[in-house]
Amino acid sequence: MPLTAYDLTYRTAFITGAAGGIGRASALLLAEAGATVHCADLDEAGLDETRALVTKAGGTARVHPLDVADRAQVRAALAAAGPVDVLAAIAGIMHTSSVLDTEDADLDRVLAVNFKGVLHVCQEAARAMIDHGVRGSIVTMASGAVDSARPGLFCYSASKAAVVQLTKTLASELGPHGIRVNAVAPGWVRTPMTTQHAAEQQEQMESTMLRLSPLGRLGEPEDIAHAVLYLAADASAFTTGQILRPNGGASMPW
């Protein structure tokens, strides 16, 4: 595959969750590949840092303070960005509680961001792609949690399982328009989100993941960003409705 298959010059990417972690790493990598990146997140300070890093590296970035759970905000942000060639729906939150201790408010909050937030940005981006005849790529962020049952991660796992189904259905519906839709399901990755929400179990969780991985290491945001780039670029032109699992081999589902 020629390297031009990863060239995103003259293309526009919209990335949610871009203030840090996998979202920031993806924004930097897509900008390095030539894309103009529109970075969206609730964390305005983090967005400014991401924009500065992209600019320092010679790329072009625009920022959009955004709560993906608010459809009106999503519609306004994507309208401001204009039709995009690539959507990377990466924004997400975690909540830890056992099933028996989970309150309705806990589940509603996680689903509002991790599932409905992805739905909102996918709908708005896809409508603009269709209206402007863009044969684009949509990349959603699932999780290795969809392949196994982890105590305490019910809300998170359920939301990501919903994203997987959304991804496959969208791929079926948008394929005739030349729009590809795929998901990335990372294994355990060191990000601000995972360290914040698993602080008490961090050592145990990382030890477990290291034991499960044949590669013997944990993931870094850049590992996942390369998967996002592959699915965003022409290198994956014949790939849609798929779940790419960069997880160090910790899970190997059929």
Render pLDDT for 77-86 as a digit per residue (tens, 0 to 9).
999 999 999 9
Residue 214's pLDDT is what?
A: 83
- Domains of the chain, CATH where assigned: 3-244 (3.40.50.720)
Residue 1's pLDDT is what?
A: 44
pLDDT tens-digit profile of 89-102? 999 998 889 999 99
Residue 205's pLDDT is what?
A: 67
Residue 198's pLDDT is what?
A: 55
pLDDT tens-digit profile of 135-190? 999 999 999 888 888 888 899 999 999 999 999 999 999 999 999 999 999 988 77
Residue 52's pLDDT is what?
A: 98
pLDDT score of 2 more than 60: no
Q: Annotated catalytic sites, by residue?
A: 156
Residue type, 127: R
Q: Would residue 15 be called left, alpha or beta, if left means φ above 0 and alpha means ψ between -120 and 50 degrees?
A: beta
- Cβ count within 10 A of residue 52: 11
